[in-house]
Structure 1
């Protein structure tokens, strides 16, 4: 008995079969003539070198796209700042209502802001600092004397211009803190 091999799946069909018994591939046309039984040529028949070049090209494009998106999603150095120094002429907004005030006649050092993003400040005399903290966030302020002086070191936390917390010390090596909304 004469058999016909399916060009799609390779199954051996009977010589009178119109369709492949395995994959339903058309073996004869509507007049009963046998169709070309050569294996189908695929547009994907290309050398290994071409495939490697295509894959490497896709990887390079993906890396370029990733680096572009990553670089454009990172905050600039100006956006990453956590504290803005207030010169007294700025208006307080509802978004960032907190201001820290440090008062001391000598040299002092402080860390202030959101406890997860504290910012260092140092100075002499009185300084007002607008904190980058929303009204519902926790606020931490720590200040200490740098010159071992005998004067009074005071820190105040203002919310919309009103004092909501205050702490002070006269100890020569004094360090004081305010924790608000804890």
Structure 2
């Protein structure tokens, strides 16, 4: 007779399980006693670190693919809940002058500068909701008309021209 260590029931010596509570008596049906994982502490720590590393990699992949693109992050929701599509460079300045000129413009706190010659379009690094200021100066003493246009997503939103040495433009959407 084999006494069950869990409930104390006397079982036949040939029983693999307790007839009262189904506890494994003399090992599993294959004859081995089930003591759980036989693994050293170092292996357990390595397994836990591996699981954490895999979880971090999965989290970073999910986070990366769930973020909006640069262009999507520049979209603006207005008061009537419509989405105004932005772009990575919604503003451009078109300089119309045949000679040498100097440009300074964009966000007044972080202006861009450029020297150019002839007609040119300059992309501004400002968001659709930023204030835009533009200054274009000519390098020669010409009295030819100098024109600057501010374009937003390809459409002219402001324009100014002059025959003097500089022309300025300021715009707030």
Q: TM-score, normalised by structure 1?
A: 0.46
Q: TM-score, normalised by structure 2?
A: 0.48
